[in-house]
Each structure stands twice: as C-alpha cells, then as structure tokens.
A and B are shown apart, each in its own frame.
Chain A
C-alpha cells in the first residue's frame, strides 16, 4: 500500500494537479481579505457616478466578517475545482488498464481504493488549511477575528463538507467509466442537497448546511444546531466509502 500511495503522490505532483489545486486555494485565501479591503475604495470610486443616478452611498465599514463572508462564498468554488481535478482518479486507470498489472501483482483492491481515498483526503485537508490559514492570518492582521464566534467550529464544519465531497467523489469515480460520469454523479447529489435545502424542515439534516458558516460566526446559530447535518455527513461519507470498496472489488478492470 505504501508503494501505491507513493505512486498516487507522484501522479498528483507530476501531472501538476497538486500545485494547481494548492495555487487556486491560496489565491482564494488571498482574495477573501483583499476583496474586503478593496470594497470601501471601490465604493468611493463608484459613488460619484452612483450619486448622479440618484443612489446615495453611505460610508461602508468593513471588518473580519466581510472577509469571512467572502470565504464562505468562495469555498464552494474551490470545492468544484477540487472535484474536477479529482474526478479522474479511477476512470483514468480503468480506461488505460493501468490497474491490471497492479492487481495481478497481488495488491488487494481494498488497499488501492484506500490509498486513493487517503490521497484525496490529504489534498483536500491541505488545500483547505491553506485557504483558511491565509484568510485567518490576513483578517487577524487587518482587523480582528475576535468578533467572530465559533470560528473554528465553523471552519471544521466546512472542512467536513469537503470530506463528504471526497467520499461522494470516491464512490462515483470508482463506479464510473469516465470522469464526466463521476462529475455528474457527485454534482447531482450536491445539487439535490441544495434543492432539498429549500425545504426548511429538511435543511438541517443536509450536509450542504455545513457550508453555512456565517450564521455561526455572527452568533445567530449555535454549534448545536449543526449536530444533525454533521452526523448526516459523517454517516453518508462512511456509507459512500463502504459502497465504493464493495463496488470496486467486483468491478471489471
């Protein structure tokens, strides 16, 4: 299994996907405070022309909240990039038949699936930490993170959303013949969760709720309100990974 992990690592690095995903998450991390910082300046620049049309701009105050709002807006975008880059992990190998020499050499399929999942988890965690860390650092430097409540719990919930995404991705990627199918499956489930989220009574059980960090920071909701969706995300992740292992075991290579 160590050999296969090393191979996965080499694949992410040498195909350039690893640096691409890190770069994008770092960019998002920088953009969040940057946009917040630039907002008043932009407002000022625009206020003259806006005044002519009759809109009166008031002095805007920016603080850490503005930047964190950007963070929670941008994380879904980062997640999309991550899913795009990760969707080929199984299909590429199926299409080329590169797993055949590995399997015929006696590496169990469970270990292959485990290595691939671990790699995705690691990359998600690393890129997420990078984005979160950069935003956190700049916010602390420009403003004050202290006004945000449950900051780290909200961050953890958002990270867990990514874990759920990884589990979905592993499952759909393992059963798909090509990456578009894997994307469609993963995207479909996430979109379905978003749609279901419109129904107020259901929304608190959906993993997509984990992305709603702002109410936590503003103190409108409590960490306790998220226990249902935390449990749902964890449960679904385990089920997905289990199913992926079972399907991959039976799959024709």
Chain B
C-alpha cells in the first residue's frame, strides 16, 4: 500500500515557481530518499505534505487520506524532523518529549517510559539539563526523538544528518533503517553516500520536477553501461589503441576510457591479437553522484 502519494503538486512563492509538477509515491515500509540541489524545493515539498503550506495545485494524500492546509488530520500519522529543529529552551529534553506526548494524548505513564527509551536511543540520556545550552547536533538528536515519539506511520526527516558528527551520522542512519519495520521513512539529504547506504527508493528533484525516480537498484542500473577504464603499461601502445579506435578517450597517463561498453569485445580482441600489456581493466562504478551531476546538467 502507498503511505504517501503526491500527484501533480505545484507551489510557487510570488512569481518564483518552486515546484512545477511533482508526482511520486512512497510505499509502506520503505526508506525513501529525496535528493535535490540547495533550493530545489525539498523542504517546501515536505511542508506541503504536513499541511504547513498551501499547495497551488495537485493532491497529496497520507495513508490514503487527503492533506488539507492548516489543521490536517493526516498529521496524526506523521512524525516530522525540521531542517533546523528548535525547541523551548527552558525545558529539559525529557520535559519536551513528555509535552509532545501529552499533546498527542498519550497517557502519563507511557509518556515517561517512552521518553526515556527514546533519549537512550538517540544518546541524550545523560543530558538532562535545559535545552538552552544544546549544540546543533544535540538538537538534531532530540529532533529525531521527538519525531519518533508517537510511533508515526510516516517519518519525514529534513536533512537529518546535516549537523551530526560521523559517529552520530552512522547511528542515525541505523535508527532510520531499524524503524523501517514499523514505519515508512521519507528523508531529504545532500549526502549521496547516505542514500546509497540505506534507501530503498529515491527521487531526484530538479527545477520543480521529479527527474528521476524509482528503486535504488533500478536507478543505478540506468548507468550500468557507464564505461570501462583501461590502463596499459606502455605509452606507445596507448597511442596505437587510440589511433585504431577513434571512440576511445585518453583519461590520464596511460589510461583510456571506453564510454560505450558494447564495443569492449572489439577492443579486447585487438589487445589479445597484438598481445598488449594491460595493467588494469575496470568497469566504472555507477555512482549516484555522477547521476546527480548528470541530472542537474553540470
């Protein structure tokens, strides 16, 4: 079943069209990565899903129910971690979590135990002072605890790892993977290696449209025949190959790049015939980063 569906969503601020025609859907129990440049509109899209902004057009539904601007009932299924989480400075983390639970109508005993459990999960159980002195990373940890507090069906995280140290990032990614059993995760990020590690599906947002979308494997496969790199021992043999096959490119000293993988057998045949000395033959890894650069046209 689809946990979240956006169809033909558009949004502009004044004359600036941020989202043109955004459609995608997130199946239940997946980790969905949402990628795009700075200012692509990721945060805007998330705020639309939460009913914090009014869409100009299109429809959004969460768990099969439509999202309305203002007080949307669909928010009962959603946990949200904002890009720069802010809390009431004068509360302690535990008080803040209990406050969140009380708003959501959780009974008192459960609030206490749940807030302890989550503070332990995000590694803040030692910091029972007021939030005022917290660093950005600590606030982000508290933010994730707050978002998970009411066991949401859909967890929306806006750049959850942006302020975290390497260990914290690893831990957070583990948390996201672990909660996949109970919830569905939608998160935005700039760190493509995070996406490669934990996402089941991804969507690229560019110039207001979803330009690329699907299961991670499928998206990657699009670039499977990206190319092969050859490294030879002798420079004159490199020159010889280049003159024989004009479609080859020099990519470094004694290194040749073959862009069209289907021509590989021809090249290899010649190498075998002439008994050329190759040091290395490598299929280039289809990195998301290349894909990203290709998508944004740079």
Contacts and interface: CB of A to CB of B under 8 A. Distances in A.
Interface in A1-21: 2-4, 6-7, 10-11, 14-15
A3 B52 contact: no
Contacts of B146: 101
A107 B103 contact: yes
A252 interface: yes
Nearest to A7: B99
For B75, B90, B95, B103, which residue has the most chain A Cβ atoms within 10 angstroms? B103
B76 A106 contact: yes
Given A10-B91, A101-B100, A252 B75 contact: no
Contacts of A2: 102
B52 A105 contact: no
A166 B91 CA distance: 26
Interface stretch (B79-87, B191-199, B204-212, B222-230): B79-87
A58 interface: no
A68 B86 CA distance: 46
SS class, residues of chain A in contact with chain B: helix
A10 B70 CA distance: 26
A101 B71 contact: no
B88 A98 contact: yes
Contacts of B73: 106
Interface residues of A, number: 26
B78 A3 contact: no
B86 A96 contact: yes
A97 B86 CA distance: 7
A134 B103 CA distance: 39
Contacts of A102: 103
B241 interface: no
A252 B86 contact: no
A7 B88 contact: yes
A149 interface: no
Given A96-B86, A103-B71, A104-B75, A4 B103 contact: yes
B104 interface: yes
B53 interface: yes
B202 interface: no
B70 to A, nearest CB: 6
Contacts of A225: none
A138 B50 CA distance: 57
Given A104-B78, A252-B53, A109 B102 contact: no
B35 interface: no
B55 interface: no
A122 B37 CA distance: 49
A249 interface: yes
For A7, A100, A104, which residue has the most chain B Cβ atoms within 10 angstroms? A104
A133 to B, nearest CB: 29
A250 B52 CA distance: 10
A225 to B, nearest CB: 45
A11 B88 contact: yes
Contact of A3 (B53, B76, B82, B99): B99
B67 to A, nearest CB: 11
Given A15-B90, A98-B86, A100-B80, A106 B103 contact: yes
A245 to B, nearest CB: 12
Contacts of A108: 71
A100 B103 contact: no
A253 interface: yes
Contacts of B88: 7, 10-11, 98
Interface in B272-293: none
Contacts of B91: 7, 10
A109 B52 CA distance: 12
Contact of B82 (A7, A100, A109, A252): A100
B150 interface: yes
A97 B87 CA distance: 8
Nearest to B88: A98
Interface string B22-35: 00000000000000
A106 B90 contact: no
Contacts of A14: 90
Nearest to A251: B70
Given A10-B91, A11-B90, A106-B76, 15 more contacts: A3-B103, A7-B91, A7-B99, A10-B95, A97-B82, A100-B52, A101-B146, A102-B103, A104-B51, A104-B78, A105-B103, A106-B103, A109-B70, A249-B70, A252-B52
Interface of A: 2-4, 6-7, 10-11, 14-15, 96-98, 100-109, 249-250, 252-253
Interface of B: 50-53, 70-71, 73, 75-76, 78, 80, 82, 84, 86-88, 90-91, 95, 99-100, 102-104, 146, 150
27 contacts: A2-B102, A3-B99, A3-B102, A6-B99, A6-B102, A7-B88, A7-B99, A10-B95, A14-B90, A15-B90, A96-B86, A97-B84, A97-B86, A98-B86, A98-B88, A100-B50, A101-B82, A103-B75, A104-B80, A105-B150, A106-B71, A106-B73, A106-B103, A109-B70, A109-B71, A249-B70, A252-B52
Which 5 A-B pairs have CB atoms at the shortest separation, nearest pair first?
Answer: A3-B102, A14-B90, A96-B86, A104-B75, A105-B103
